[in-house]
Amino acid sequence: MATLAMTRLDPQSRAARRGWSDLTIRNAFIIPTIAFLIIFNIFPLLYSLGYSFTDFRASTNAPANFVGLANYKALLNDPFIWRNFAITAKYVIVSVAGQVIVGFGVAMLLNRAIPFKGLITTLLLLPMMLSMAVVGLFWKLLYDPSFGIINYALGLGRFEWLSNPDMALYAVAITDIWMWSPFVMLLSLAGLSAVPKHLYEAAAIDRAGPLYTFFRITLPLVAPILMIAIIFRTMEAFKTFDLAYILTSQPTTEVISIRLYKMAFQEWQTGMSCALAYIMLIMVVAITNIYVKYLNKVKER
Amino acid sequence: MTQIELRGVQKWFGSNQVIKDMNLDIADGEFIVMLGQSGCGKTTTLRAIAGLETIDEGDILIDGSAVQHLKCSDRDIAMVFQSFSLYPHMTVYQNIAFPLHATRTSSADADKRVREIAGVLRITDLLERRPSALSGGDMQRVAIGRALVRQPKAMLMDEPIGALDTKLREEMRAEIKRLHVRQGSTTIYVTHDQVEAMSLADRIVIMHEGVLQQVGTPEEVYGHPENLFVAQFVGSPVMNVADAKVADEGGKVRIHLDPADPGFEFPRELLSRLNGHAAGGLKVGVRPEGILVSHEAKAGYVPLEAQIIEPLGSHDIVDLKVGTGMIRARTPSGFVPKVGEKVHARIDPAQAHFFDTGSGKSLGVRL
């Protein structure tokens, strides 16, 4: 169809008067995009791959020496890096699970005839539209032990959210859940409203109870779209930086991307940090692949 | 043993009344077909019996106890939907087993019953497939299997074969009948197809605009329609209905369907049976097979011209010109060789129906 729609230029058009052909116009749109992608995405990707095999430091003028897989070996044998990965994994699990439970729950509540449904949905989506940095700064105030509204509302006195090493990671996760549950809610809502009503009627006739209906009808039918939400949120949570960086500086909240940032721009171990970035990339791709495999299996029917 | 009873059931959608004072008794093991045009309230009535719709007034009784306030799951009624409503993410086996698993039947018992019902419906080799890989007829079999597997008190079917093509419909019709004979469960079946209704039903319930029009066996409904709506809704081709003028000619009466026609002869006893309708406000109805057609002039036959001939193989439907109007007659095939031919016809008095023009009610005249 697209090729059919591409007709001869109108001889009166400006492009025609300038002597532009369809091909020229097509290239005028595509070439800048491709150039941008190559310069800002693909080139750095390959360039950093090269650096990951060297001892390059961006802070000095010393030439980069090729060190082979030494960076990777050092990183994978470093117990501190593994602690960072463990923190990240804990954060991903808590945060994504929280978002799915809250988001899917709210979607279930909204998936019925209620007054002001559109308005409520829009308002619930607001956190998602804020900037990460703004959310981080706001929640820092909300969590404040002396004047924060959270302690006041929950009657927790001077409970330390962010300076308590055991609590800080959960505090970051709670903020992330607050911010991104609406995303899961939105996708779940789309999935839920796509489940045909007559299937629920059939289940009622078949004498299925509400829990049985939920686990055997609702959940399996929403699973593919819920899976997509989970893939997105897992990837994002794995890379999380701003929220954790702004909210606290506890060693227990040093997720892998904060470690990467420190390694690259505070310790200036450029080569090493490139290697770490590659390890992260491989992990994210691997985790996402597991989900995508599962998603395809779910979608098969 | 399941009797279903509707007593004074009323239902509104907003200001629109969709069921108007419905009263109906359904005996155990009976096959009831609800027949009517779309939007006549038949599906709503069915869904109300199933518990998928609430009713505003009246009682629904199953085996003598009122169930209108119970959830569907507590009424123990199975239903087959027009859209089949198979669970798309489950195999045929899981679909049929669903009602058993949902009520925590032991899996050995469930397995036995699923395989038994699959055998009855001849879908044993489809058990591992998903609904998306089934043909329409097989989907319907699975939907029926899912309804039958738990031996419900009653079966409700909402146009279950409406979505299938003609040949398959005929096949499934026979199959549903066979199953009903075998299982003997009380069945309520909704359709807008009168052939389906006639062929399946023990009794037909005809509805129009939320009002029950007539309840009766297929023969009663066809042979003695209680009003004009039933008369014209049941039967194909549609019954001929025309305003009738009655002329007394001493030994017999003539009924004119049109000022210009020569009039059809009826026995004189008709006059006394019309309850004063002879003067006016009378409609006469006669099915195409109630028009007797002959090539030769006979006593009581009037000459009419054939205008349209519809050959249907087993018989022809011939439109005969009566004054400015038309009546349709059923003749053996090829009886009237071509359009324009004159034939002689009369109305068989035994097959004529008389209705009051105002109320549309049958006068109950049987000659």
Low-confidence ranges of chain B (pLDDT < 70): 1
Task: Name every chain A residue with its beta carbon within 8 A of the beta carbon of B71.
Answer: 204
Comparing CB atoms, the residue among A206, A217, A220 nearest residue B99 is: A206
Using CB atoms within 10 Å of the CB of residue B1, give its burial: 0 to 12 exposed, 13 to 18 middle, 19+ buried.
Answer: exposed
Report which secondary-structure segment, H or E, holds B203: strand B203-208
Task: Name every chain B residue with its beta carbon within 8 A of the beta carbon of A221.
Answer: 88-89
The domain defined by A78-299 folds into: MetI-like fold (1.10.3720)
Highest mean pLDDT among A111-115, A122-126, A144-148, B301-305: A122-126
Task: Name every chain B residue with its beta carbon within 8 A of the beta carbon of A209.
Answer: 73, 102
Q: Is the pLDDT of residue A15 over 70?
A: no
- Pairing type for strands B154-158 and B186-191 reads parallel
Closest residue of chain A to B77, computed from CA coordinates: A205
User: Which residue ranges form the domains of chain B, and what is each CATH number?
Assistant: 4-233 (3.40.50.300), 240-356 (2.40.50.140)
Q: Which of B44, B85, B92 to mutate to test the interface with A (most CBs of A within 10 A)?
A: B85
Task: Name every chain B residue with its beta carbon within 8 A of the beta carbon of A207.
Answer: 72-73, 76, 99, 102-103, 150
Interface touch B89/A208, C-beta < 8 Å: no
Q: Which of A205, A212, A213, A216 to mutate to test the interface with B (most CBs of B within 10 A)?
A: A205
Closest C-alpha among B285, B275, B253, B287 to residue B363:
B275
Closest residue of chain B to A222, computed from CA coordinates: B89
Task: For chain A, give the mean pLDDT.
Answer: 90
Over residues A259-287, mean pLDDT = 93
Q: Is A221 on the interface with B (CB under 8 A)?
A: yes
Q: Which of A195, A197, A201, A207 to mutate to test the interface with B (most CBs of B within 10 A)?
A: A207
Looking at the complex, report in whole angstroms how far the Cα of residue A210 sits from the nearest Cα belonging to chain B: 10
**Cβ A94 vs Cβ A181: under 8 Å:** no
The whole-number pLDDT of residue B184 equals 86
Q: Is the pLDDT of residue A204 over 80?
A: yes
* Domain definitions of chain A by residue range: 78-299
Give residue A1's pLDDT band: very low, low, confident or very high (50, 70, 90).
very low
Q: Cα dist. A92→A101, A132, A172, B88 in Å? A: 14, 17, 11, 32
As a whole number of angstroms, the distance between CA B42 and CA B45 comes to: 5
Give residue A6's pLDDT band: very low, low, confident or very high (50, 70, 90).
low
The whole-number pLDDT of residue A59 equals 87
Closest C-alpha among A235, A237, A244 to residue A286:
A235
**All residues at 6 or more sequence positions from A292 whose CB lies less than 8 Å from its CB, including other chains:** A231
**Cβ B82 vs Cβ B157: under 8 Å:** no
Interface touch A207/B103, C-beta < 8 Å: yes
Q: By percentage, how much of chain A surpasses pLDDT 90?
A: 73
Interface touch B83/A217, C-beta < 8 Å: no
Q: Is A194 on the interface with B (CB under 8 A)?
A: no
The whole-number pLDDT of residue B35 equals 94
Comparing CB atoms, the residue among B52, B88, B102 nearest residue A207 is: B102
The whole-number pLDDT of residue B104 equals 87
Interface touch A206/B98, C-beta < 8 Å: yes
What pLDDT, in 10s, does the model give residues B9-52? 999 998 899 999 999 999 999 999 999 998 899 999 999 999 99
**Cβ B46 vs Cβ B191: under 8 Å:** no
Looking at the complex, report in whole angstroms how far the Cα of residue B162 sits from the nearest Cα belonging to chain A: 17
Comparing CB atoms, the residue among B72, B89, B99 nearest residue A221 is: B89
CB pairs under 8 A between A and B: 62
The whole-number pLDDT of residue A175 equals 96
ipTM: 0.82
Interface touch A209/B73, C-beta < 8 Å: yes
Q: How is residue B264 annotated by DSSP?
A: E
What pLDDT, in 10s, does the model give residues A72-111? 999 999 999 999 999 999 999 999 999 999 999 999 999 9
Looking at the complex, report in whole angstroms how far the Cα of residue B93 sits from the nearest Cα belonging to chain A: 14
The whole-number pLDDT of residue A2 equals 44
